[in-house]
Amino acid sequence: MSVGIDDISFYTANFSLDLQELAANNGSDAAKYTVGIGQERMSVPGADEDVVTMAANACVPLLEGMAQRGEDANAINTILFATETGIDQSKAAGVYLHSLLKLNSRCRVVELKQACYSATAALQLATAWVARKPKEKVLVVASDIARYDRQTPGEATQGCGAVAIIVSANPRLVALDAETGIHTEDVMDFWRPNYRSTALVDGKYSTKVYLRCVRSAWQDFQQQSGLQFGDFDYFCYHLPFSRMAQKAHNHLANGNAHELSAQALEDQISSSLIYNRITGNSYTAAMYIGLISLLDNTAQDLAGKRVGFFSYGSGSVGEFFTGTLVVGYQDMLHQQSHQHMLASRKPLNYANYQQMYAFEVPTDGGDHAFAEQTNGKFRLAGISQHKRLYEVR
Ligand code: COA
């Protein structure tokens, strides 16, 4: 029996800022963004979008697919919600999600945190549970809003998005191997104390730590699995910005892939970067949006191809793992809805972006209704007496 990803879909917010517009207004050279960090646009959330609404919207195609195929959604008895954009110190965001999706009450729900890494911890926990109870399915959700202070180097690497993954036995998309490589190291490269709404980052240092971590996790992975660089067809890396994957891939290839040309190395990652370039960073969701990008944007049949994944979360924890694409995986893709969603985003000018950036959920305990801005099925309608009020559109 194999265990892995049976279905996967993503969602991003309904507004976007072109980084040329950002550069024109902050004095940067646009090529620094488009070439230097490899980003074109960032998604910007409306006032009625948060990690719960994005997660719920990401889940819609999965549940519709199950209903169309006559599968029982009650098989989902665990939700693991990975985020570093927590909306509550106590209640798991996944409980709101569980309610919006009308899932069975016989379902355990928990939230996981370790910067951008926690979705991978969730995925690994999910595979272990499914291996033990193969009739059950786990819904893994990763949802984040990457937010930095204005006029800082991090500002151009903002973005947001959510991924929803069904983990099952005999998956129809990606069969995951049990062997993984892990590296943990206590460093302060990126963090967000509880009293801040924006992250603090030592950007250049974080890039160095990321590279050190990918090397160490890879070495551990090789020892555990016996696999070599040449055993892989494609790679998906954590994507704080798309150039980071290129740096990491070249770093890993150095000394491991003498026979591969620069173009062949680029071909192993380029399709995984397409969506990230236009959504921006989505922290926990980023690498998994990279996987969806690879699947949606590769015309050739990838069945039987081996993908290497490197998940990184500042602070820091990294994990290298692998999976193989299953025959017929194309039937499970949601390519058209992803591309329609991306194309439907409303472009912002700089003044609109500044206005939207300045919005914060009121903290006075009063009753506040939020303007309807999202196109998504689920929205944050307001807040009343410190309680978030979600609704279905
Ligand atoms: N044309 C083309 N490239 C240009 C350029 C131009 N006009 N101007 C600068 N660049 C290149 C630089 O040479 C550099 O390339 P390199 O990394 O290969 O050396 C790149 O663009 C970035 O320029 P830099 O001056 O280093 O940018 P920065 O000081 O604004 O910082 C980050 C970039 C990524 C560190 C910053 O955006 C950040 O802190 N991001 C958030 C943290 C993060 O994402 N960490 C990653 C690990 S999770």
Among candidates 143, 142, 140, 144, which has minimal Cα distance to 165? 140
pLDDT grade for 344, boundaries at 50, 70 and 90: very high
Residue 255 has a pLDDT of: 83
Q: Are 86 and 99 in contact, with CB atoms under 8 Å apart?
A: no
Whole-structure pTM over 0.75, yes or no?
yes
Ordered DSSP codes for 69-118 = TT--GGGEEEEEEE-SS-S-SSS-HHHHHHHHTT--SS-EEEEE-BTBTH
pLDDT digits 0-9 by tens, 152-178: 999 999 999 999 999 999 999 999 999
Instruction: Write out the catalytic residue numbers.
Output: 84, 116, 238
Q: Are 324 and 172 in contact, with CB atoms under 8 Å apart?
A: no
CA of 288 relative to ligand 1 center, distance in Å:
23
- The average confidence (pLDDT) of the chain is 97
Tokens 């801005």, located at residue: 373
Give the span between the Cα atoms of 381 and 367, in whole angstroms: 11
Nearest CA to ligand 1 atom 43: 203
Residue 242: is the preceding peptide bond cis (ω within 30°)? no
Residue 278 has which token pair? 């236009």
Whole-number Cα distances in Å, 79 to 118, 147, 219, 241, 350: 13, 25, 32, 28, 38
The amino acid at 50: D
270: CB partners within 8 A, 6+ apart: none
Residue 251 has which token pair? 């770093």
Residue 259 has a pLDDT of: 82
Ligand 1 atom having least distance to the Cα of 209 = 47
180 pLDDT above the threshold of 80:
yes
100: CB partners within 8 A, 6+ apart: 52, 56, 378, 390, 392
258 pLDDT above the threshold of 80:
no
Nearest CA to ligand 1 atom 21: 36
Residue 126 has a pLDDT of: 98
CA of 116 relative to ligand 1 center, distance in Å:
19
Q: Which of 28, 32, 206 to mutate to test the pocket of ligand 1 (most atoms within 8 A of CB)?
A: 32
Q: Are 178 and 283 in contact, with CB atoms under 8 Å apart?
A: no
Give the span between the Cα atoms of 77 and 22, in whole angstroms: 44
Across 133-137, average pLDDT: 97
Tokens 């500002």, located at residue: 155
Ligand 1 atom having least distance to the Cα of 153 = 30
Across 86-107, average pLDDT: 98
Among candidates 351, 374, 307, 321, which has minimal Cα distance to 125? 321
Q: What is the dihedral of CA 47, 143, 201, 32, to 10 degrees?
A: -80
212: CB partners within 8 A, 6+ apart: 185
Ligand 1 atom having least distance to the Cα of 36 = 21
pLDDT grade for 183, boundaries at 50, 70 and 90: very high
pLDDT digits 0-9 by tens, 283-309: 999 999 999 999 999 999 999 999 999
Nearest CA to ligand 1 atom 39: 203
E strand or H helix at 378: strand 378-384
Among candidates 64, 237, 42, which has minimal Cα distance to 144? 42
CA of 251 relative to ligand 1 center, distance in Å:
17
pLDDT digits 0-9 by tens, 100-132: 999 999 999 999 999 999 999 999 999 999 999
Residue 75 has a pLDDT of: 96
Nearest CA to ligand 1 atom 3: 36
Give the span between the Cα atoms of 226 and 215, in whole angstroms: 15
Which residues approach ligand 1 with their CB closer than 6 A? Answer: 29, 31-32, 35-37, 153-154, 156-157, 201, 203-204, 206-207, 210, 240-241, 244, 314
Q: Are 118 and 311 in contact, with CB atoms under 8 Å apart?
A: no
Ligand 1 atom having least distance to the Cα of 29 = 7
